[in-house]
Amino acid sequence: MSSKDEVRAFLMSRRANITPSQTDLQDFGGQRRVPGLRRSEVAMLAGVSLDYYTRLERGNLRGASEHVLNALANALQLNELEREYLFGLARTATAPTAAARTGQKKPVVRESVQRVLDSMSVPAVVWNRQHDLVASNLMGRALYSPQFESDSPNLARFIFLDPRAKDYYVDWPLARQMTAAMLRMEAGRDPLNAELTALIGELSTRSPEFRSNWAERDVHEHRTGRKLFKHPVVGVVDVTYDVFEMPGEKGLWIGIYSVEEGSESAEKFALLASWAATNDQLAARRLAPPPSGHPAQNQTLTAKSSRSTGEQ
């Protein structure tokens, strides 16, 4: 979708969400041909002419001043994130046309950040704009174990394309809605991100649920809140999440998950920690070389000796 099409669809969707009773306008009743406010009513609330608002809603934000954008946001009763999204669309309309960025280097967290993650006793994961899981600690991998079974774990692909997501997320419809809204927010912030654009295209093609949620044109940003996961090993856990943008790494966020002390979920976190530690030890044993004198080690030494002496 072009920038103009996105502006048009976004403004129309926000206008449709407001009724005259939610504003200072007097509703004279009668049959309304459109849901929500009419264009003329939005223009009146924003203090601009109908012709000018019509031009804005048709996608032409080029040249719109900060004062006009703020007036428009107030008229449409946009929340903080919707307002930021509108200003982002305006910046895109004003900026010179540029080619999409492709082949971006996959982000990797600094060693110091990984050490901090590993020092935490609660689950912690790091994701980027397109919701790739790029780092985690042991508990984070345990909490998101179904997602980490993929070679390239991605939260959005799991939610919309993996059938296990319906069980993993207790409120799967809400998880879908929030994820689509977060992707839209990031697309507005970084419209030239080719990987993000490709992900949105893939989900639009493969998931009817994504198409439905995407058409709602909501924007969202995870900051703090509550999630219910139905983990395949420990069952339902009720967690509080807090999200922090990584200092010095634009486009990366750290998500930390905690539970109330003494709660049933705290007991399940303890079980999750034990399960994670056991799996980690088993994985380490599989990767470790056999000790000296072990039959497998002796076989290796014998094979090396045979090759060195020319034996067949």
Q: Which amino acid, residue 254?
A: I
Q: Band of the pLDDT at 311, cuts 50, 70, 90?
A: very low
Q: In whole angstroms, what is the distance from residue 235 CA to residue 265 CA? A: 9
Give me the percent of the chain exceeding a pLDDT of 90: 64
Which pLDDT belongs to residue 83?
93
CATH for the 3-94 domain, from 3.20.20.150, 1.10.260.40, 3.10.20.590, 3.40.190.10: 1.10.260.40
Cα 149 from chain centroid (whole Å): 19
Q: What angle do CA 138, 225, 280 make, to 5 degrees?
A: 10
* Whether pLDDT at 109 is above 60: yes
What pLDDT is recorded for position 293? 60
Identify the pLDDT of residue 176. 97
Highest mean pLDDT among 17-26, 34-43, 86-95, 131-140: 131-140
CB distance 272 to 265 below 8 Å: no
User: pTM here?
Assistant: 0.80
In this prediction, residue 310 has a pLDDT band, given cuts at 50, 70 and 90, of very low
Report the pLDDT averaged over residues 238-250. 91
Q: In this prediction, what percent of the chain has a pLDDT beyond 70?
A: 83
> What is the predicted pLDDT for the residue at 288?
62
Write out the two tokens for 280. 């980690």
> Which CATH number does the domain 111-284 belong to among 3.30.450.180, 1.10.3470.10, 1.10.443.10, 3.40.190.10?
3.30.450.180
pLDDT of amino acid 300: 45
User: What whole-number distance in Å separates Cα of residue 283 and Cα of residue 141?
Assistant: 13
Q: Which segments of the chain belong to CATH 3.30.450.180?
A: 111-284
Give the distance between the most distant pair of CA atoms in the chain. 101
Pairwise pLDDT comparison (284 vs 219), residue with the higher score: 219
What pLDDT score does 302 carry?
Answer: 44
Structure tokens at 241: 């999440």
What single-letter amino acid sits at 42? V
**Ranges for all domains in the chain classified under CATH 1.10.260.40:** 3-94
Task: List b or e across 187-219, with b for residues whose CB sees 16 or more CB atoms inside 10 angstroms.
Answer: bbbbbebebbbebbeebeeebebbeebbeebbb
**Residue 47 to residue 130: CA distance in whole angstroms:** 38
- Which residues in 172-290 belong to E strands, given as ranges? 224-231, 235-245, 252-258
How far is residue 36's CA from residue 128's CA, in Å, rounded to a whole number?
A: 36
